[in-house]
Chains A and B, each alone.
Chain A
């Protein structure tokens, strides 16, 4: 059974891909984001591309802990996997929650929702990523970013 440290070593060794499981800890989340954008930089992705992907990953991680693990212990890990090559970035974020139906999320840009304080994460992910899909259960999101 690999530890988190083993997983992070794995990501560091391979550079352009990673698989990390971690509990709700901002430092670990930032470390995963940094590993991903560093890999993107090595493959020549622009600052704008790195901004887009970091934001989408941060939102997906926040959704996984805040919604997916809402009624679960904070120590329970989520899993982030990513693969970066010269053409695209593929990211999976999986939580251990019951899943959700992304079709039920209201449009946060409608006038009646504009002053709501939540509900914009998924919209930002969709705005910045090329393709976004969920597994049937709704606890694993796949996000693909094509290099412009």
Chain B
């Protein structure tokens, strides 16, 4: 995987991989597939992954992106890891509410709150 094709920015803090998106619109299926593969590689690299996905720069999110988040969630849980979502724009949060996925994911107001929630 060429680093310059990455759709993500990843940094590490408190033993947590913090993922941010390059794209403001996460609508296109090909990009979403790439994002899914990149996050899967992060999850697979650790025995009990601690992953925080920040939506700070995201304006739009499609149902295909939601599907990828569910796949990531299952992958993390399968390794007894922890996944947190944070910095979700109110309009995008409404998409989580409409689909009831706000009940499935652990969603936090900001990065600090999400980091504190890891056990």
Contacts and interface: CB of A to CB of B under 8 A. Distances in A.
Given A117-B68, A118-B67, A55 B60 contact: yes
A121 B59 CA distance: 17
B98 interface: yes
Interface stretch (A77-85, A108-116, A137-145): A108-116
Contacts of A59: 62-63
Contacts of A118: 63-64, 67
Nearest to A115: B70
A124 B103 contact: no
Contacts of A47: 91
B-side binding surface: helix, strand, loop or mixed?
A: helix
Contacts, number: 66
Contact of B95 (A29, A55, A66, A109): A55
Contacts of A33: 27
Interface in B46-72: 59-60, 62-64, 66-68, 70-71
Interface stretch (B13-21, B28-36, B80-88, B110-118): B28-36
Contacts of B104: 114-115
Interface residues of A, number: 26
Nearest to A113: B100
A30 interface: yes
Contacts of B67: 116-118, 120
B101 interface: yes
Contacts of B6: none
Interface of B: 25, 27-31, 59-60, 62-64, 66-68, 70-71, 74, 91, 95, 98-101, 103-104
Interface of A: 26, 29-30, 33, 47-48, 51, 54-55, 58-59, 62, 66, 108-109, 114-121, 123-124, 127
